């Protein structure tokens, strides 16, 4: 019999595998490509981009606690690091010490960022392996103070990976076709 735990674990594992395929072979130029002005990205702390940042080390990720609407366009780098940070934070609050914040040590290059993302999958998968069906309704904390059932936390992590993974995939398509898009926009 397939359980809710089985379904959520399979969905999370599939979304993790899909991210691996989507990010395979991404170059540094592509990873940090800013297709429009005002993109949020990952950058050295010393680079002032006029917005708030999160991160405790040399590298930071752009962020604005006011959550501007519409949100700024983000690079592949931003989306990749964001997914990993969300994985770590949700896991820590729901199943760990509930002590992390977005002031994590952010990776600053493609290899470090993708490795960090893929490493963020394992704690979540490990927790899911040990869950019983009844555990899905347990109420756990989130990093912003709300309390959610475990199934909502896990579904949110799947959604984050699918949502941002699709965006990364489209950005890779746009990057690959950027010359054709300029020709199209210019009428030629």
Taking the domains of the chain in order of start, what are their residue ranges? 4-180
Compute the average pLDDT of residues 9-35: 97
Using the predicted structure, report yes or no on whether residue 124 has a pLDDT greater than 60.
yes
Using the predicted structure, report yes or no on whether residue 105 has a pLDDT greater than 50.
yes
Say how many residues make up the chain.
188
CA–CA dist 83, 117 (Å, integer): 7
Using the predicted structure, report yes or no on whether residue 34 has a pLDDT greater than 80.
yes
Per-residue pLDDT tens digits for 139-184: 999 998 999 999 999 999 999 999 999 999 999 999 999 887 666 5
CA–CA dist 156, 158 (Å, integer): 5
Q: What share of the chain has pLDDT > 70, as a percent?
A: 96
Q: What CATH class has 4-180?
A: mainly alpha
pLDDT of residue 159: 98
pLDDT of residue 188: 47
């Amino acid at each position: 019999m397939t359980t809710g735990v089985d379904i959520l674990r399979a969905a999370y594992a599939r979304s993790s595998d899909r991210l691996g395929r989507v990010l395979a072979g991404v170059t540094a130029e592509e990873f940090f490509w800013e297709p429009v002005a005002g993109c949020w990205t990952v950058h050295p702390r010393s680079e002032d981009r006029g917005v708030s940042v999160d991160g405790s080390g040399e590298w930071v990720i752009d962020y604005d606690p006011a959550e501007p609407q519409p949100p700024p366009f983000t690079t592949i780098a931003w989306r990749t690091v964001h997914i990993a940070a969300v994985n770590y934070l949700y896991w820590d609050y729901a199943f760990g010490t509930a002590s992390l914040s977005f002031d994590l040590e952010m990776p600053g290059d493609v290899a470090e960022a993708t490795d960090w993302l893929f490493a963020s999958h394992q704690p979540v998968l490990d927790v899911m392996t040990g869950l019983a069906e009844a555990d899905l309704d347990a109420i756990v904390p989130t990093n912003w103070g709300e309390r959610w059932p475990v199934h909502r936390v896990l579904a949110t992590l799947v959604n984050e990976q699918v949502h941002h993974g699709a965006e990364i995939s489209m950005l890779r398509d746009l990057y690959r076709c950027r010359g054709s898009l300029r020709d199209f926009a210019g009428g030629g």
